[in-house]
Amino acid sequence: MSLPLPGPAGEALDVLSRFRVEFYECLYARADALFELTDAVLCADGPVKTLVELSLALEHRRGHGALYAA
C-alpha cells in the first residue's frame, strides 16, 4: 500500500495515474504488450529507430516476439 503525497506532487501523480489507466483502456488487442511498448518509447534515451531497440529497454519486460504480435 502506498501513501498519498500531499500537495501539487500528489495531484500530479493522480493525474498521471488516471491518464495511464484511461490510455490502457483504449488499447483493445494486446494491451499489455502495447502499454509496455509505450513505456519503453517514453523512457528511451533518444530517438527510437527500430522496434528491436525497444525490446532491449528495461521497461519492455517481454521478449521481442511480443512486439511483432502486437
What is the pLDDT at residue 67? 56
What is the pLDDT at residue 63? 60
pLDDT tens over the chain, length 70 residues: 566 667 777 788 889 889 989 998 998 888 888 888 888 888 888 888 887 777 777 666 666 555 555 5
Count CB atoms within 10 A of the CB of residue 39: 17
Cell of 57: 529497454
pTM of the model: 0.59
CA–CA dist 40, 9 (Å, integer): 23
Q: Would you kindly state where each structural domain of the chain is located, as residue ranges?
A: 7-69
What is the pLDDT at residue 22? 93
Q: Residue 18: which residues within 8 A CB-CB, separation 6 or more?
A: none
What is the pLDDT at residue 18? 92
